[in-house]
């Protein structure tokens, strides 16, 4: 999980009161943040791109830039040191990824500010024209939202914090830039309007960030640039690449990979143009709302951007109107074990930077800010109320209904079977639940019968079947260990899957145990292991001769219990052994331990 370093000095300034490292760490823990450590951090400047790199004082100075990929022979220049708190990022709360968001939450928790924060968005003059090609399957990144941010002149520290916040949001909301990615530019150098369009892999050249004198095509950036190599997989299926370009033909960025050097944000800039592009509208909006509201919390002024689409429609972004949800105070009390009245519940909500209206009958209409995309259900609001009340103030209590936990019957059988087979000298394996048609059928000399569970939209096209037996996993293990001497004895305990139209999901799951014995007595040895297993499990069964193309004729028996087939034991056919590159005879057994209906 990524870690961010928060300046004690800057956080105290935003709170309007001087706090020690220990005090701030304690406040943040109470707020629900995961404090990793506190101490001094040092900042170093990259020799090429001038971006600051941060290290704890006990760590070695950097020689490689995380932004542009430059690597020098000597450590980077030391810029300064300060006291910091290191936090593990909480994926559910990206609004707490920077000083602005943390100070906003802490001011409410400490009673400095209360209620819903408001961030006015003034009308702006910037327009973005969205080309229809960005929604095409050959270049799919259809969603974009933008804003103009006016702030005090950026210094090195503010610029570093902005870039850190940007990358944290790439991780927390954008899923490493796949769902959403951010671009920040110096607005003063742009010619309006701005176009969001697509280009071919070698259609134009521009200087990517960190390479001021090295124009590259989009294709070359993906092959040669440090960021291009890391994120090339996001565009690997694209025939055309997304591009932001101004009216003068100047490239702003190639989302989601890299910005251009010409439009980079530098120290002293006061007017910034921000874009967020992505493949889901909700993630794009949430990313923009989180970013600009934190900047506004630090004193920035926000202006809207007009987004004009190819179909003639348009909208203004960002839209920072709050959302709302209704809760029942009695339900909150039930979840939290408290006895709050409406007024006390409302006070907790305001402490957590929410607002409310009394709907009567013990219900509250709760309003939450646009950056709180984590609020999906009333229990998310209950969690905020618990934090506001203070987890330390909650009194642990025993539940009224006392129950004793115990293992499920199938787990007892699994543990017993595992103990028996380990005692018989077998090694346990764990194979994949998803399998291929070749491994599960063809190599076993059989074909699918239409009763197999097939995945409708597999991520990997070959892995499209849920296994219906455990034998192929055991034989694959023998194949991978063919260089080891015989004998070899393996077993696996796990689920198999079967169609069951009467069930809620249309499938059922069976817990099975299977074993494979290589280089031993074939069917006789496998029968002996199965006899021992059945005896120890206390199962009363009978064997019956059977035939199957995977096994040698005359060397297969099915196992019946109350007239139903629950397993089999036999010796693998030489052709199957050859398909798995196995040179010795193999005896196998498989037994159903429990049937779980889906």
Residues 350 and 416 in one domain: no
Q: Which of 10-24, 77-91, 183-197, 468-482 bottoms out in mean pLDDT, i.e. has the lowest? A: 77-91
Nearest to 430 by CA among 495, 481, 479: 495
Q: Which two tokens stand for residue 415?
A: 């543990």
As a whole number of angstroms, the longest Cα–Cα distance in the chain is 86
Q: Which two tokens stand for residue 88?
A: 């593990």
Residues 446 and 580 in one domain: yes
Q: What's the pLDDT tens digit per position in 470-512? A: 999 999 999 999 889 889 999 999 999 999 888 788 888 999 9
Q: Which two tokens stand for residue 15?
A: 């709170």
This prediction's pTM: 0.70
Q: How far apart are the C-alpha atoms of 543 and 562, rounded to whole Å?
A: 12
List the CATH number of the domain containing 237.
3.50.40.10
Is 475 inside any structural domain? yes
Q: What's the pLDDT tens digit per position in 331-362? A: 999 999 999 999 999 999 999 999 999 998 99
Residues 207 and 304 in one domain: yes
- Mean per-residue pLDDT, 450-464: 82
Residues 527 and 556 in one domain: yes
Q: How far apart are the C-alpha atoms of 74 and 45, rounded to whole Å?
A: 12
% of the chain surpassing 90 pLDDT: 70
Q: How far apart are the C-alpha atoms of 234 and 485, rounded to whole Å?
A: 45
Q: Respond yes or no on whether the N-terminal peptide bond of residue 487 is cis (omega within 30° of 0).
A: yes
Q: What's the pLDDT tens digit per position in 546-561? A: 999 999 999 999 999 9
- Mean per-residue pLDDT, 6-14: 90
Q: Mean pLDDT, the chain, as a whole number? A: 91
Residues 74 and 210 in one domain: no
Residues 81 and 135 in one domain: no
Strand partners, 490: 427, 516
Is 399 inside any structural domain? no
For the chain, the domain total comes to 4
Domain end: 85, 109, 133, which one? 109
> Is pLDDT at 596 greater than 60 in this prediction?
no
Strand partners, 454: 465
Residues 219 and 256 in one domain: yes
CB 458 within 8 A of CB 394: no
pLDDT band at 56 (very low <50, low <70, confident <90, very high): low
Is 401 inside any structural domain? no
pLDDT band at 41 (very low <50, low <70, confident <90, very high): confident
Domain end: 345, 361, 391, which one? 391
Residues 273 and 330 in one domain: no
Residues 80 and 186 in one domain: no
> Is pLDDT at 201 greater than 70 in this prediction?
yes
CB 499 within 8 A of CB 532: no
What 3-state class would DSSP assign to 496? strand
Is 404 inside any structural domain? no
> Is pLDDT at 72 greater than 80 in this prediction?
no
Q: How far apart are the C-alpha atoms of 124 and 218, rounded to whole Å?
A: 31
- Report the pLDDT value the prediction gives residue 212, as an integer from 0 to 100: 87
Half-sphere exposure of 321 (CA within 13 A, CB side): 4
What 3-state class would DSSP assign to 561? strand
Q: What's the pLDDT tens digit per position in 126-146? A: 999 999 999 999 999 999 999
Residues 383 and 269 in one domain: no
Strand partners, 515: 491, 589
Is 400 inside any structural domain? no
**Residues contacting 399, CB < 8 A, separation 6+:** none
List the CATH number of the domain containing 329.
3.30.56.10
- Report the pLDDT value the prediction gives residue 598, as an integer from 0 to 100: 40
User: How many secondary structure helices (H) and strands (E) does the chain include?
Assistant: 15, 29
Residues 430 and 384 in one domain: no
% of the chain surpassing 70 pLDDT: 98
CB 429 within 8 A of CB 518: no
- Report the pLDDT value the prediction gives residue 395, as an integer from 0 to 100: 86
Is 402 inside any structural domain? no
Q: Phi and psi at residue 387, in whole multiples of 5°? A: -65, -45
Q: What's the pLDDT tens digit per position in 361-420? A: 999 999 999 999 999 999 999 999 999 999 999 888 877 777 888 888 889 999 999 999
Q: Give the Cβ contact number of residue 267 at 10 Å.
A: 12
- Full domain range(s) for residue 360: 323-391
Residues 199 and 272 in one domain: yes
Domain end: 88, 109, 130, which one? 109
Nearest to 15 by CA among 88, 86, 99, 87: 99
Is 58 inside any structural domain? yes
List the CATH number of the domain containing 585.
3.30.930.10
Is 396 inside any structural domain? no
Nearest to 5 by CA among 49, 56, 60, 80: 56
């Amino acid at each position: 999980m990524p870690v961010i370093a928060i300046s004690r000095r800057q956080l105290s300034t935003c709170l309007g009161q001087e706090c020690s490292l220990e005090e701030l760490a304690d406040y943040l823990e109470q707020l629900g943040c995961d404090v990793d450590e506190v101490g001094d951090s040092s900042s170093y400047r990259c020799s090429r791109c001038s971006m600051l790199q941060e290290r704890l004082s006990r760590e070695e100075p950097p020689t490689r830039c995380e932004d542009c990929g430059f690597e020098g022979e000597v450590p980077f220049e030391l810029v300064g040191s300060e006291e910091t708190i290191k936090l593990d990022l909480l994926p559910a709360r990206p609004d707490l990824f920077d000083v602005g968001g943390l100070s906003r939450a802490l001011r409410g928790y400490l009673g400095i500010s209360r209620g819903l924060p408001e961030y006015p968005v003034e009308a702006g003059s910037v327009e973005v024209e969205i080309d229809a090609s960005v929604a095409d399957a050959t270049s799919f990144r259809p969603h974009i939202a933008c804003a103009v941010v006016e702030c005090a002149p950026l210094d090195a520290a503010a610029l570093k914090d902005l870039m850190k916040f940007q990358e944290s949001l790439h991780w927390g909301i954008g899923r490493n830039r796949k769902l959403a990615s951010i671009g920040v530019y110096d607005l003063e150098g742009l010619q309006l309007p701005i176009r969001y369009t697509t280009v071919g892999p070698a259609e134009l050249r521009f200087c990517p960030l960190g390479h001021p004198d090295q124009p590259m095509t989009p294709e070359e950036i993906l092959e040669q640039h440090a960021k291009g190599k890391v994120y090339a997989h996001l565009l690997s299926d694209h025939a055309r690449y997304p591009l932001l370009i101004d009216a003068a033909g100047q490239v702003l960025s190639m989302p989601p990979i890299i910005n251009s050097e010409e439009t980079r944000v530098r120290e002293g800039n006061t007017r910034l143009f921000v874009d967020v592009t992505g493949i889901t509208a909700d993630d794009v909006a949430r990313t923009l709302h989180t970013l600009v509201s934190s900047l506004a919390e630090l004193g920035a002024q926000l202006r809207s951007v007009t987004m004009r689409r190819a179909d003639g429609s348009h909208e203004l972004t960002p839209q920072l109107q709050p959302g709302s949800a209704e809760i029942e105070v009695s339900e909150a009390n039930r979840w939290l074990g408290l006895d709050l009245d409406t007024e006390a519940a409302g006070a907790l909500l305001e402490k957590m930077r929410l607002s409310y209206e009394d709907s009567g009958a013990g219900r509250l209409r709760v309003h939450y800010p646009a950056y709180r995309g984590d609020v999906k259900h009333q229990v998310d609001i209950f969690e905020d109320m618990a934090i506001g009340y203070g987890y330390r103030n909650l009194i642990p209590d025993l539940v009224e209904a006392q129950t004793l936990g115990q293992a499920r019957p199938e787990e007892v059988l699994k543990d017993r079977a595992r103990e028996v087979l380990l005692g018989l000298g077998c090694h346990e394996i764990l194979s994949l639940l998803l399998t291929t048609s070749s491994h599960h059928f063809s190599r076993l000399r059989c074909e699918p019968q239409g009763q197999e569970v097939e995945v409708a939209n597999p991520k990997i096209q070959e892995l499209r079947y849920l296994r219906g037996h455990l034998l192929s996993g055991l034989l694959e293990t023998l194949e991978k260990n063919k260089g080891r001497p015989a004998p070899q004895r393996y077993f696996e305990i796990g689920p198999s899957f079967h169609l069951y139209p009467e069930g809620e999901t249309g499938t059922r799951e069976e817990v099975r145990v299977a074993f494979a014995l290589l280089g031993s007595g074939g069917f006789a040895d496998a029968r002996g292991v199965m006899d021992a297993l059945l005896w120890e499990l206390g199962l009363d069964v009978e064997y019956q001769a059977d035939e199957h193309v995977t096994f040698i004729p005359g060397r297969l028996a099915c196992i019946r219990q109350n007239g139903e087939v629950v397993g089999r034991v036999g010796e693998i056919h030489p052709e199957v052994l050859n398909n798995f590159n196995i040179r010795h005879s193999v005896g196998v057994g498989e037994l159903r331990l429990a049937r779980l209906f889906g």
